[in-house]
Structure 1
Amino acid sequence: MTIDALEARRPPASRSAASALLWPAVLAATAILSLAPGSFLPDWAVRLPAGWKLPIAGYISVFMAWLVDQASFGLFTFRELTRGVAWLLDWPLGLAKAMLVSGFAIGQGSQAVPIAPPLPWYAVFMLGVALGWRLGGRPLALLVAGGLAYLLIFGQWASAMTTLASVLVAAPLGAAGGLLLGILCYRSPRFERALSPLLDLAQTVPVFAYLVPILFLFGFGPVSAMIATILYALPPMVRVAVVAFRAVPEEIVVLGRMTGCTRHQFTWKMLVPSARAGLMVGVNQVIMLTLNMVIIASMIGAGGLGYDVLTALRRLDIGRGLEAGLAITVLAILLDRLAQAMARQSERGRVHRKEGAGRLTGRRFWLLVLALAAALWAAAFLAPPLAVFPAEWQLSTASYWEAMVRWINVNFFDALDAFKSFVLLNLLVPVRRFMLGLPWLWVVVVVMLAGWRLGGLRLTVRVALATLFIALVGLWEPAMLTLYLCGVSVLVAAAIGIPIGIACATHRRLWKVVEIVIDTLQTLPSFVYLIPIVMLFRVGDFTAMIAIVLYAVAPAIRYTAHGVQGTAPELIEAGIANGCTRGQLLSRIRLPLAAPQILLGLNQTIMLALSMLVITALVGTRDLGQEVYIALTKADVGRGIVAGLCVAAIAIIADRLIGAGAQRLKNRLGLA
């Protein structure tokens, strides 16, 4: 008889009593071991012996050096292969930058002879408004016009065009690569099973960790930054493509077989067109992630708005940093709305004439727009001053933001410093000491116990291997610091986000206001959070915690609101019929049924907190994020990859345990 069968035969009362006593006992033992681990466990169980640590980072560094310096494929070396790929990708990137930023020239450097200017601002403005008009009518055209006007008026046009050039190349390549991999996964379940762990790693490994091997393989420059951006944005497209293909109606698949389509014909003439609406959602995700990567990619030569934000952070220039960060947000919103409009048109299957499009068909409309753009380009060629937006028309709010921060520091320094000291002494420092005092072996045992209770043997093995990996590579202490800071930040974000989400679920007007705020928080680049917080609180763990909470609170709010709002109406009516008050409806019906959704929101909060934690290494944290950042500055491939894999291991453990807990709760509530 199996263990599960014995578990099922056990009387329910004894099982519930054992479950009720198990975790309090574990927590009590954990507290005791944290205070005096050496009194109960041998030294090797408290601190991992140095001889047990695996030099994986050194092996990876040696392998990468061999790969770059000695590996050969007969006709060419590996270095020549990577440089060839970089040269090939440099062509479309150079063309896009020439079209939007630098213009066309013959020769390089000081010997370059200009032959044509870039598209002038008014031509790009007209093309953007025309595209918005055609895809979404007057509202989208006005939105595009307002966004582009912001870039012009606040002096962000040149940097925005540099960023846009990278997006126009990286996003199609990322979408195409994700589409091809999605087709392979749809055709071959074995390939999907083999690729799925790699996609999990790609989505959980910190972005900084991408940069270290890419910098080592492809060198410093915008092409390396674009490759890192593509790798970062590709995994969601793969997953969305697989889901979209599997959602294609069965009758279409049967029709393709009955009509004798070859595999190529079925894929490109039936499967992909039928899944177009879902695929456009993936394209939208690729665009958003590409823009999310622009600041980090600027660390290896991307330039553009990301470089402006990074420079502002290094100088603590809150005004310039905020304007550049808002420019990235504006660009993200414009591209997002345009991609959504394209997805809606794909879903309808044909292009409808929008308001104001007149009687022009699609082809005639675009011929007219392109002819006008060419005429404006020629005007810029003949009269170059016309292509430059007048400096006297530009505005800047940088001085006002700096003055506001100075005023806050002058008038509220004592209060802010007292609040910071209170949180440090009463929350952060005790939790940090507690986590660092835990024996590594006991943490492994607790994680395995949680895996066993929530998901059985398979989950136990997975989380145990991930935890042991962290211990055996010699990064246990930075991992505990990561866990401490991430855990405290997630708890604070949940304490703020869940009540706000509950309030939003019961007050629609409040939700409309909060939704705008969290949308802005999610599109604003993560680096932008650090600038004002560092100026107010200086560097340290408290500053990192505030930045992480601001960046990660959105999923806690959104998932809670959706979960509470999604309660079945008949259950609410039954509660009202039984005389439940409004508070009872919330505490006894809405919240219990929304608990699985709230857990999933907590999971997303943890993922965002871990991704932000690596960025907060710039403000003085000493966790795994600092390990990744140091590896990037020293081009230490092995150290960066191993530290990134440790962050991924923490993310995978949290994701699997919370996912299993949410599923178990759904089963118990009958929601599965």
Structure 2
Amino acid sequence: MASTQGAPRVAGVMAAVARTLTGPRRLWIAVTLATIVLVSLTPEALPAWAWKYPAAWQVPVARWISDFMKWLMGQASFGLFTVRDLTRAIASLLDLPLTLAKMLFSTGVLQGEGSAAVQLFPPIPWFSMVIAAAALSYAVGGPRLAIGMAVGLLYLAAFGQWTSAMSTFASVLVSSLLGAGGGLLIGLACVRHKALERLVSPLLDLAQTMPVFAYLLPMLILFGFGPVSAMIATVIYAVPPMVRVTIVAIRAVPEEIHALGRMTGCTRHQITWKMLVPSAMPALMVGVNQVIMLSLNVVIIASMIGAGGLGWDVLAALRRLDIGAGLEAGLAITVLAILLDRFAQALAHRARSPRRGERELRRLRLGLWLALAVAGGLWLAAASAPQIAPYPQAWRLSTAPFWSELVSWINLNFHDPLEAVKTLILLNVLAPVKRFMLALPWPWVVAVVTLAGFRLGGFRLALTVGIMCAFMAAVGLWQATMITVYLCGVAVVISVLIGVPVGIACAERPRLRAVVEAVIDTLQTLPAFVYLIPIVMLFRVGDFTALVAIVLYAIAPAIRYTAHGVAQVSPQLIEAGVMSGCTRRQILTRIRLPLALPDMLLGLNQTILLALSMLVITALVGTRDLGQVTYAALSKADVGLGIVAGLCVAFIGMIADRLIGAAAEKIQTRKGLA
């Protein structure tokens, strides 16, 4: 009875609010007031199905996916061979370049398997690798890059990370080549066929926003446990930027080049590979760089299914809560990422720069071949005298005891203040926001998201985001979705509150910007798992630990895009403001920030995506969100549940991306910047 009487009363309140508030801005005031009213209602005021999506209405997508995978791997066939035979053959084929790369850089030529394997020929020793890499870097980027490459590789050897780093390098090298080559081919096909681009675009969005955890189980089922499955998951995660960059770069090639190719009688194949691709090479190298960085970003997750290398070292340290070992392995990944990033940037710069003279090229080639010959000779010497191959134990360094003692000292001396801060934020921020999100009726959330889509982008956007939002309720994961939105939302707000002022300060102070850029570059290249080790040791597991890790990982775009947007405002507009008597604060609030808002919204979008990707990893520290569902599905081998939970995470990111993108476009159109 209470329910039937409460519903008309609520409807009357909503109608009154809607009548008193009209117009776009007032519409959202009305929505906010209505949301507060709904949250304050007792459970009896609305039907039970409005608070909890009925089990009878749920769509068993997870079961359908699991059943399909069982059928695919158990019964599906192509006549002469089954799908399992096909996937295992593909795995064996992809294992060849990976095995060769690991033999070259990490394991050497082995006879036998496991502990019984005997090394017939050693891998490239550290000193040969340093000489060869420095020589190649000098040929590509000059002495500065060569010195940086040598110092970075010596760091890996000196801190005892050489073998694991070379194993990771071999995996990343093969993954990057496959990702860059595959992304280039897909991008060229999309340029040629618009229908294919429309089909591929949402798949690329899914690949970038779906957690890598969700890929692992299908890869295990299809390709078996081992480094090949990890490599395929890495390629899927890393290939979207290459596809997008290829599409943009090829379409940006001037039309005159197309016309020249047609006039000279070139075939379509010749125009593509001898004119368009070389002309777009500087931009394409940016895509290659992104593939390398994303491949390194998932090495720890990939180690869960047999990738090994530095990722496995970090994961093992996290399980032992060994902060010293974890940080050293994580910093080794960061060093490897920086070296590969600088080398890829040098290649891109060389593609843009004019060709060198013939005499200089001959001199460079001669020096490179001499250096490679020396490296090869030393490699043969190490094969003859294996005792000289390892880095000397007496020369090794380690900071692991320092970091472990530092965290122990902080725990002993600052436990009470840290616990007070944690309790304050838990009780006054996290707990209220969590209660608020869980108290929202799911139909109202779907309606508000749909309304936002309609106001920002019209009927098509409203339908897209509305269906995505309703999907999360229909598959029975609404509560986990709301916990995900709550934790991600709080982290994004904190990141913006910190990042925007820091970005504004960086835009006005170049020296500060250089320092902050170095810090956030380190934060972005440091593996996400590494954040968890010291934070868990300081704050133990829970939502607060996850919040701190997410903010540290996701704050970089908020700083970087704000600094870029504010710094890019036209000096003429600033001068006009000064001449009209504006104070420094008025110039900032009325000129710089409004014009930088589209860039800042793009930074907000990237912050949300990074927060979602980190949120899945924080499932290891006790959160109860979609990341935990995905991780639990992996441990239970429930492929359907893992993919559905991953899709929910992806849909949250895609909803944010679509709405923020539409808002940015609207702002640019209104300000005449589109």
Task: Report the TM-score range of the alignment, normalised by the length of the smaller protein.
Answer: over 0.9
What amino acid maps onto 1:519 in structure 2?
A: D
**How far does residue 362 in structure 1 lie from its aligned partner after superposition?**
4.5
Q: Name the residue aligned to 1:434.
A: 436
Structure 1 stretches of at least 4 aligned residues deviating more than 6 Å after TM superposition: none
Q: Name the residue aligned to 2:5.
A: none
Q: Name the residue aligned to 2:103.
A: 98
What amino acid maps onto 1:183 in structure 2?
A: L
Separation of aligned partners in 1, 2:510 and 2:212: 36
What amino acid maps onto 1:116 in structure 2?
A: F
Residue 245, structure 1, aligned to residue 250, structure 2: yes
Deviation per CA, 1:386-409, whole angstroms, max 9, x where unpaired? Answer: 101111100111111111111110
**How far does residue 302 in structure 1 lie from its aligned partner after superposition?**
0.5
What amino acid maps onto 1:155 in structure 2?
A: G
Separation of aligned partners in 2, 1:333 and 1:617: 28
**How far does residue 100 in structure 1 lie from its aligned partner after superposition?**
1.1
Deviation per CA, 1:60-95, whole angstroms, max 9, x where unpaired? Answer: 000001101111011211001111111111111111
Indicate which of 65, 73, 77 corresponds to 1:68: 73
Q: Name the residue aligned to 1:566.
A: 568
Residue 182, structure 1, aligned to residue 190, structure 2: no
**How far does residue 490 in structure 1 lie from its aligned partner after superposition?**
0.4
Indicate which of 592, 597, 618 corresponds to 1:616: 618
Separation of aligned partners in 1, 2:166 and 2:401: 25
**How far does residue 563 in structure 1 lie from its aligned partner after superposition?**
0.9
Indicate which of 295, 309, 314 corresponds to 1:304: 309
**How far does residue 120 in structure 1 lie from its aligned partner after superposition?**
1.0
Evaluate the alpha carbon distance shift between residue 606 and residue 109 of structure 1 in structure 2; reply closer, same or farther with a 3 A threshold.
closer
Please give the secondary structure, in 2, of the residue aligned with 1:114: strand
Please give the secondary structure, in 2, of the residue aligned with 1:72: coil
Q: Name the residue aligned to 1:577.
A: 579
Residue 529, structure 1, aligned to residue 531, structure 2: yes
Deviation per CA, 1:113-154, whole angstroms, max 9, x where unpaired? Answer: 432111111000111111111111111111111111110111
Residue 519, structure 1, aligned to residue 521, structure 2: yes
Q: Name the residue aligned to 1:607.
A: 609
Evaluate the alpha carbon distance shift between residue 459 and residue 39 of structure 1 in structure 2; reply closer, same or farther with a 3 A threshold.
same
Please give the secondary structure, in 2, of the residue aligned with 1:63: helix
Indicate which of 467, 470, 478 corresponds to 2:469: 467
**How far does residue 37 in structure 1 lie from its aligned partner after superposition?**
5.3
User: Would you say the 8 A contact 1:160–1:304 is kept in 2?
Assistant: yes
User: Would you say the 8 A contact 2:131–2:372 is kept in 1?
Assistant: no
Indicate which of 400, 403, 406 corresponds to 1:404: 406
User: Would you say the 8 A contact 1:37–1:439 is kept in 2?
Assistant: no
Residue 637, structure 1, aligned to residue 639, structure 2: yes
**How far does residue 17 in structure 1 lie from its aligned partner after superposition?**
5.6
Alignment of 1:50-69 (within 5 A): 50-69=55-74
Evaluate the alpha carbon distance shift between residue 22 and residue 110 of structure 1 in structure 2; reply closer, same or farther with a 3 A threshold.
closer
What is the total number of aligned residue pairs between the two structures? 656
Evaluate the alpha carbon distance shift between residue 265 and residue 358 of structure 1 in structure 2; reply closer, same or farther with a 3 A threshold.
closer
What amino acid maps onto 1:64 in structure 2?
A: M
Indicate which of 290, 293, 311 corresponds to 1:285: 290
**How far does residue 19 in structure 1 lie from its aligned partner after superposition?**
2.2
Evaluate the alpha carbon distance shift between residue 43 and residue 15 of structure 1 in structure 2; reply closer, same or farther with a 3 A threshold.
closer
Q: Name the residue aligned to 1:7.
A: none
What amino acid maps onto 1:200 in structure 2?
A: D
Separation of aligned partners in 2, 1:335 and 1:653: 33
Deviation per CA, 1:482-541, whole angstroms, max 9, x where unpaired? Answer: 000000000011111011111111122211111111111111111111110000000000
Residue 215, structure 1, aligned to residue 217, structure 2: no
User: Would you say the 8 A contact 2:141–2:350 is kept in 1?
Assistant: no
Identical-pair percentage: 64
What amino acid maps onto 1:459 in structure 2?
A: L
Separation of aligned partners in 1, 2:147 and 2:30: 61
Residue 121, structure 1, aligned to residue 123, structure 2: no
Separation of aligned partners in 1, 2:146 and 2:42: 65
Gap runs ≥5 in structure 1: 1-13
What TM-score comes out, normalization by structure 1 length?
0.95
User: Would you say the 8 A contact 1:541–1:621 is kept in 2?
Assistant: yes
**How far does residue 16 in structure 1 lie from its aligned partner after superposition?**
10
Residue 195, structure 1, aligned to residue 204, structure 2: no
**How far does residue 111 in structure 1 lie from its aligned partner after superposition?**
5.6
**How far does residue 455 in structure 1 lie from its aligned partner after superposition?**
1.1
User: Would you say the 8 A contact 1:556–1:605 is kept in 2?
Assistant: yes
Indicate which of 1, 24, 45 corresponds to 1:19: 24
Indicate which of 559, 579, 602 corresponds to 1:557: 559
Separation of aligned partners in 2, 1:654 and 1:15: 30
Separation of aligned partners in 2, 1:256 and 1:263: 9
**How far does residue 170 in structure 1 lie from its aligned partner after superposition?**
0.9
Residue 321, structure 1, aligned to residue 297, structure 2: no
Residue 343, structure 1, aligned to residue 317, structure 2: no
Separation of aligned partners in 2, 1:482 and 1:110: 44
Q: Name the residue aligned to 2:659.
A: 657
User: Would you say the 8 A contact 1:444–1:464 is kept in 2?
Assistant: yes
**How far does residue 446 in structure 1 lie from its aligned partner after superposition?**
0.8
Separation of aligned partners in 1, 2:312 and 2:42: 47
Residue 228, structure 1, aligned to residue 230, structure 2: no
Please give the secondary structure, in 2, of the residue aligned with 1:76: coil
Evaluate the alpha carbon distance shift between residue 351 and residue 121 of structure 1 in structure 2; reply closer, same or farther with a 3 A threshold.
farther
**How far does residue 110 in structure 1 lie from its aligned partner after superposition?**
5.7
Q: Name the residue aligned to 1:131.
A: 136
What TM-score comes out, normalization by structure 2 length?
0.95
**How far does residue 38 in structure 1 lie from its aligned partner after superposition?**
3.2
Separation of aligned partners in 1, 2:451 and 2:362: 67
Deviation per CA, 1:640-667, whole angstroms, max 9, x where unpaired? Answer: 0000000011111111111111111111
Q: Name the residue aligned to 1:206.
A: 211
**How far does residue 348 in structure 1 lie from its aligned partner after superposition?**
2.4
What amino acid maps onto 1:334 in structure 2?
A: L
Worse-matched range after superposition: 662-671 or 382-391: 662-671
Residue 35, structure 1, aligned to residue 35, structure 2: no
Please give the secondary structure, in 2, of the residue aligned with 1:303: coil
**How far does residue 267 in structure 1 lie from its aligned partner after superposition?**
1.5
Indicate which of 608, 626, 629 corresponds to 2:628: 626
Residue 334, structure 1, aligned to residue 339, structure 2: yes
User: Would you say the 8 A contact 2:601–2:660 is kept in 1?
Assistant: yes
Q: Name the residue aligned to 1:458.
A: 460
What amino acid maps onto 2:565 in structure 1?
A: G
**How far does residue 366 in structure 1 lie from its aligned partner after superposition?**
3.4
Gap runs ≥5 in structure 2: 1-18
User: Would you say the 8 A contact 2:160–2:396 is kept in 1?
Assistant: yes
Q: Name the residue aligned to 1:593.
A: 595
Indicate which of 508, 511, 514 corresponds to 2:510: 508
Worse-matched range after superposition: 20-29 or 431-440: 20-29
User: Would you say the 8 A contact 1:539–1:619 is kept in 2?
Assistant: yes
Evaluate the alpha carbon distance shift between residue 110 and residue 422 of structure 1 in structure 2; reply closer, same or farther with a 3 A threshold.
closer
User: Would you say the 8 A contact 1:614–1:624 is kept in 2?
Assistant: yes
**How far does residue 350 in structure 1 lie from its aligned partner after superposition?**
3.1
